[in-house]
Chain A
């Protein structure tokens, strides 16, 4: 097998040069059919011989798994991998993506040495240009984050840019970022090298073999059916690139992998008269929507246009694939942009325009991980045009995941389980990727919301709230109000309100927050994931006690905040559980936990017909009544006393509100403010809302949105799963010892890890920072991912931030590590360590002093208005 593979590789090399692509393609189809018998069984079957499949095979085999079969429908490295522009760029927006690209870079660098296969790796570096100040801010933010994970990069002046690249027109630039260690490489050769190394480690590779579907029994992969026969296997890895969606749906138990292809064009030219040096840096001109690299003495230049052409919406279409044509008219804006950037190219002769479809996902992040529905079914696809950059790192994380049960980094942002079947509509994907592809080069500003694929899931109050000025954001397909624009207020147009500075809704949210503090606000929070677990006996309690760290054996009517931990003690989910009766529990988790949490529970729950898990998310509308007057509103509507004596905090009771009966009222608000959550059967939602609003009028009630909620919860140091907490953070690391009952009388998942951590101490600690010398009006706002410096030393990154209207300061949450000055090794973090540091937060290269707090500011809880502050306007309805 290996010899045949090498011969493929050699042929590839002798025919090197991209001019030969078309001939290579036809020879592939004309090649004689091989008839090699497939093995009857294997531990792992990988589908897809592109850079992803070969990288997974390479890493699995390195980790000691030997019984692996890789299947490729055509020839190895012949799909998008073959047509990839070959640019490896580490300047990514997410840290996890930066790390993947960094690892890929290091891997490809030594690959030629390891395998003896030429990969064309050249460390050219790359220069990312900024035509606007906003772009420069964006680059500075990336720069700050690259530096702290050890990737050299710097912000440079236009003059320096001109020195790095002789052909560039730099007159319209305000600056640039130089990443000297970025590289160009032939991705097809990388894939072949990885395949060759994997093959040497025992991986069996078969090309011209198509996977028809994956066989599943009892929610577990049992084998694959190919056009050359069956293979039994325990694990299946879908690395089918743009065909991954279809392959996922071909199962009896479909696996939805939301991705969609778009045509992507780049231009190849003949060599320049004086060819560029081979180490001329790659140029990314995002404002001009193009990238430009040196290619065989000439230029390779493509881009991400504003009006992408989605393709293969109706599935794999042989006709379309063969007819992929150069579309010069479509390329015209990018060509204009190229000639503006490099005017001297006017006289350069065109070689060809390449059309290579790329795959995009609904949120611009790649997809990896295990299917929530089928155990042993892994996916790695949807690279959003960064397959080469991510290939090595992504393959490694997936291999770790398969071998160890979890990857060494938190990859929730890339986890397949962040999506559900609801993102799998073909129409949705087609529309969304048309927005995503241009977004690759659009400015990424805080609080950006997608415009397409909206209004999919809505609360019954949607129209009502919309009419009152609600502006919406979307989470997991669910529309949630951000804030309410008062009738007399005019906000900036969407395009203009993109800013890294103080946003135009600042005053609006301020008045909502103020109302939460002084009167009462209502926030529609129906998007939260809601499960009910019931049993005939004690089964529900038993399984929950095993899955959750807090003690759930509480009296009926009590609510428990608890983490759902993994073996390492990290948060798989953070939720609130109300005990409705002896045998039934109501569980509230973050919106995007719907798929992940369900899969986790299903995986760990015993097959028992007496134990029932039900997703009741759609059955309830949730209204959050926040504020000191919530008590008055609710008692007036229910004729029941709601004071803390009668209705203590973290308590749940079914009661009537207005005419509607059976409303689950819970004394918690997810913010630390006084108030109640009402879980209302949806048919009563409008009635209860109307009643609350009309009775609430005299208490100054008004609508509020998630931005107010966010400000309130962050100033109170409330961490949220998915933003601050993830699978690698434990309750002890964020000061939640009280939510862990190590001695509750039975074992639970993660207990051993926590016991050990309790003994050894923690290596990072969630800390709250209050920015001191930050001018809210004039300085850049923090977002998340800003580096934290302790005594001038890098100590971690922020996870979320908000402006606290009460403290009149910005508040950031983030983890503080204790890196040894000598070795960089992580050391124990104590409260003393935190308290004794001087802290700075780096926002786009500017460091702001910050006070570190391990506990919320107490004055916030005893908010009282001084008598002489009262003014007439407080008598107005809000």
Chain B
């Protein structure tokens, strides 16, 4: 096993600085991971236009770093011990179990495990989970930010409220509005399940609330009186679009408070993808915008695992997305709208929140920047207009919604940002989680029946099996277990501690070249309850 830190520096030296771009990363990556070429290109979500990057990630100008210091510093050679590795992997893990009442859990969700492993500093991924209190169901989502974490943070705080409000019946909306109006206590809408590191912005809370209130007031006004059944799919689409719209509007209007004013602009000028699941009984909806993915783990009758994809990636690998973009813009832009598998040659995901640079007209962009705070005005990137920018908007936050009716064999759902999917095949992901969740039970039990087996042979076999299992028991969290595999898997598909240790001890500035932020939520379903639903019919 070559030491990546040592391997890496000579490689950097060989590359000309001007060539350090997606392709430069690619060549390192191939050396290190021997993985498929297209994966490597996704290392960086934006083509790192220098100006662009200085705005988005001032701390992360890694090429400046390597230029300034890489010759001076001798590569450190240090290994993390297994407990150190564990403490890094487990720092962000979170588990939630749906509480049982009277010994019975009547929810179709048993609980979920989630975790994050940063590659960017600070991490740009976000995650959210909450139970709807005024309607039934549970919401879970992963958000992959780019050009900073402002947008993904805002979406992770706000999107579920928009969805919950969209799902609320007219009477409840009225009740809430009346309570606000008359200063009474509000009905709680969401029960959040948050890791201590998952923070909410206090400063913007009032602003966000006002936007949300305007939304439900409009919903109340729009209601024609006839109480129709609320369609979850429609609610999800409306919520996504409305939130993106509010983000855009807030940035255009600005805020008298200079801190807030800068915040709303950062939110709007950065971007985020979102992959959100809504589970209510056997009804599972997945709303996806961008290239995060929702994967269902299905256990076949023979105990084996198969993966069912519940979302489509919105990127250049998706023919239908390419088609959509070409149809939405004039024929003469057909070649420029997607270049090098990126939107306008810049952006990897083809749908996203925020990213007003791909949504606003040039006029609007200029106007907002001019009237904006100095930080914005001085920034090279904000003034930079994407090439071939003729017929905006080029980008939408509208999600694609998939519906799936849960069956007893549907054991779990994995929601993860592309950081996971680019390192692991979906089939492996589902198998690893499935084997983890079922533990030893589904390692095919040994039976002696009929064969001649000696005690010594049996002992050898059992010792081998136990060694295999011990890696599973290190983790109490399915998401952690998956990250361990994603980062530490060797070519044989087993976790290699040395590799894991090296990957985790990469300096902040280099980590991003070897992997992306990884965020995972594993939702476990309650087969008994799901089965009972089925039997009712």
| 0/1 interface trace, chain B 456-488, chain A, CB 8 Å (1 if under) | 101100110110010000000000000000000
Is B222 part of the contact surface with A, judged by Cβ < 8 Å? no
Q: Which residues of B contact A348 (CB under 8 A)?
A: 454-455
Least CB separation from A426: chain B residue: B103
Least CB separation from B452: chain A residue: A349
**In the complex, which of the residues A269, A329, A339, A346 contacts B446, with contact meaning CB atoms closer than 8 Å?**
A329
Interface centre among B452, B456, B466 (most CB of A within 10 A): B456
Also in contact, A347 and B466, with CB within 8 A (given A327-B445, A329-B440, A335-B459): no
Also in contact, A335 and B455, with CB within 8 A (given A328-B462, A329-B462, A329-B466): yes
- Nearest Cβ on chain B to A340's Cβ, whole angstroms: 10
Contacts of A336-375 to chain B: CB distance below 8 A: 336, 338-339, 345-353
Is B72 part of the contact surface with A, judged by Cβ < 8 Å? no
**In the complex, which of the residues A329, A350, A352 contacts B455, with contact meaning CB atoms closer than 8 Å?**
A350
Is B447 part of the contact surface with A, judged by Cβ < 8 Å? yes
Is B1 part of the contact surface with A, judged by Cβ < 8 Å? no
Are B455 and A346 touching (Cβ within 8 A)? yes
Also in contact, A336 and B448, with CB within 8 A (given A329-B443, A349-B453, A350-B453): no
| 0/1 interface trace, chain B 420-456, chain A, CB 8 Å (1 if under) | 0000000000000000000010010111100011111
Interface centre among A325, A328, A338 (most CB of B within 10 A): A328
Is A112 part of the contact surface with B, judged by Cβ < 8 Å? no
Also in contact, A339 and B455, with CB within 8 A (given A329-B440, A353-B448): yes
Is A442 part of the contact surface with B, judged by Cβ < 8 Å? no
Are B445 and A325 touching (Cβ within 8 A)? yes
CA distance A350 to B448 in the complex (A): 8
CA distance A821 to B462 in the complex (A): 59
CA distance A267 to B455 in the complex (A): 10
Are B459 and A336 touching (Cβ within 8 A)? yes
Is A510 part of the contact surface with B, judged by Cβ < 8 Å? no
CA distance A352 to B440 in the complex (A): 21
Interface centre among B446, B455, B465 (most CB of A within 10 A): B455
Is A737 part of the contact surface with B, judged by Cβ < 8 Å? no
CA distance A331 to B458 in the complex (A): 11
| 0/1 interface trace, chain A 319-337, chain B, CB 8 Å (1 if under) | 0000001111101100110
| 0/1 interface trace, chain B 307-338, chain A, CB 8 Å (1 if under) | 00000000000000000000000000000000
Also in contact, A339 and B462, with CB within 8 A (given A328-B446, A329-B446, A353-B448): no
CA distance A873 to B453 in the complex (A): 72
Are A346 and B452 touching (Cβ within 8 A)? no
Are B447 and A326 touching (Cβ within 8 A)? yes
Q: Which residues of B contact A328 (CB under 8 A)?
A: 445-446, 448, 458, 462
Are A335 and B462 touching (Cβ within 8 A)? yes
Least CB separation from A345: chain B residue: B455
Are A349 and B454 touching (Cβ within 8 A)? yes
The tally of residues in B whose CB lies under 8 Å from a CB in A reads 18
CA distance A339 to B455 in the complex (A): 8
- Nearest Cβ on chain B to A327's Cβ, whole angstroms: 7
- Nearest Cβ on chain A to B471's Cβ, whole angstroms: 15
Also in contact, A332 and B466, with CB within 8 A (given A326-B447, A352-B448, A353-B448): yes
Least CB separation from B449: chain A residue: A352
CA distance A339 to B447 in the complex (A): 20
CA distance A335 to B445 in the complex (A): 16
- Nearest Cβ on chain A to B379's Cβ, whole angstroms: 56
Interface centre among B447, B454, B466 (most CB of A within 10 A): B454
CA distance A269 to B456 in the complex (A): 12
| 0/1 interface trace, chain B 367-393, chain A, CB 8 Å (1 if under) | 000000000000000000000000000
Are B454 and A329 touching (Cβ within 8 A)? no
Least CB separation from A353: chain B residue: B448
**In the complex, which of the residues B448, B453, B465 contacts A329, with contact meaning CB atoms closer than 8 Å?**
B465
**In the complex, which of the residues B440, B454, B465, B469 contacts A346, with contact meaning CB atoms closer than 8 Å?**
B454
- Nearest Cβ on chain A to B466's Cβ, whole angstroms: 6
CA distance A245 to B454 in the complex (A): 40
Least CB separation from A327: chain B residue: B445
Contacts of B129-153 to chain A: CB distance below 8 A: none
| 0/1 interface trace, chain A 16-32, chain B, CB 8 Å (1 if under) | 00000000000000000
Q: Which residues of A contact B446 (CB under 8 A)?
A: 326, 328-329
CA distance A267 to B454 in the complex (A): 12
Q: Which residues of A contact B465 (CB under 8 A)?
A: 329, 332
Least CB separation from A299: chain B residue: B455
Interface centre among B445, B452, B463 (most CB of A within 10 A): B445
CA distance A326 to B447 in the complex (A): 7
Least CB separation from A269: chain B residue: B455
Q: Which residues of A contact B466 (CB under 8 A)?
A: 329, 332
Contacts of A52-72 to chain B: CB distance below 8 A: none
- Nearest Cβ on chain A to B449's Cβ, whole angstroms: 8
- Nearest Cβ on chain A to B112's Cβ, whole angstroms: 25
**In the complex, which of the residues B440, B443, B447, B458 contacts A335, with contact meaning CB atoms closer than 8 Å?**
B458
Are B463 and A332 touching (Cβ within 8 A)? yes
Contacts of A228-268 to chain B: CB distance below 8 A: 267
CA distance A332 to B459 in the complex (A): 7
Least CB separation from B463: chain A residue: A332
Interface centre among A267, A349, A353 (most CB of B within 10 A): A349
Least CB separation from A343: chain B residue: B456
- Nearest Cβ on chain A to B473's Cβ, whole angstroms: 11
- Nearest Cβ on chain B to A345's Cβ, whole angstroms: 5
Q: Which residues of A contact B443 (CB under 8 A)?
A: 329
Also in contact, A326 and B454, with CB within 8 A (given A332-B463, A332-B466, A335-B459): no
Are A329 and B445 touching (Cβ within 8 A)? yes
Are A332 and B462 touching (Cβ within 8 A)? yes
CA distance A348 to B459 in the complex (A): 12
- Nearest Cβ on chain A to B364's Cβ, whole angstroms: 62
CA distance A347 to B454 in the complex (A): 5
Are A339 and B448 touching (Cβ within 8 A)? no
CA distance A327 to B447 in the complex (A): 8
Q: Which residues of B contact A349 (CB under 8 A)?
A: 452-455
Are B458 and A350 touching (Cβ within 8 A)? yes
CA distance A267 to B465 in the complex (A): 19
Are A347 and B453 touching (Cβ within 8 A)? no
CA distance A843 to B47 in the complex (A): 82
Q: Which residues of A contact B455 (CB under 8 A)?
A: 267, 269, 335, 338-339, 345-350
Q: Which residues of B contact A346 (CB under 8 A)?
A: 454-456, 459
Q: Which residues of B contact A329 (CB under 8 A)?
A: 440, 443, 445-446, 462, 465-466, 469
- Nearest Cβ on chain A to B198's Cβ, whole angstroms: 32
CA distance A72 to B438 in the complex (A): 38
CA distance A161 to B440 in the complex (A): 39
Interface centre among A329, A348, A352 (most CB of B within 10 A): A329
Q: Which residues of B contact A325 (CB under 8 A)?
A: 445, 447
| 0/1 interface trace, chain B 5-34, chain A, CB 8 Å (1 if under) | 000000000000000000000000000000
- Nearest Cβ on chain A to B535's Cβ, whole angstroms: 18
CA distance A336 to B455 in the complex (A): 9
- Nearest Cβ on chain B to A872's Cβ, whole angstroms: 48
CA distance A352 to B459 in the complex (A): 14
- Nearest Cβ on chain B to A338's Cβ, whole angstroms: 7
CA distance A328 to B448 in the complex (A): 9
| 0/1 interface trace, chain A 470-492, chain B, CB 8 Å (1 if under) | 00000000000000000000000
CA distance A329 to B470 in the complex (A): 12
Are A347 and B458 touching (Cβ within 8 A)? no
**A–B pairs, 29, beta carbons within 8 Å:** A267-B455, A325-B445, A326-B447, A326-B448, A328-B445, A328-B448, A328-B458, A328-B462, A329-B462, A331-B462, A332-B459, A332-B463, A332-B465, A335-B455, A335-B458, A336-B463, A339-B456, A339-B459, A345-B455, A345-B456, A346-B456, A347-B454, A347-B455, A347-B456, A348-B454, A348-B455, A349-B453, A349-B455, A350-B454
Question: Which 4 A/B pairs are nearest by Cβ-Cβ distance?
Answer: A346-B456, A332-B462, A328-B446, A350-B453
Can you name 12 extra interface pairs (CB under 8 A) apart from A267-B455, A326-B446, A336-B459? A326-B445, A326-B448, A328-B462, A329-B440, A329-B443, A338-B455, A346-B454, A346-B456, A349-B453, A349-B454, A350-B448, A351-B448
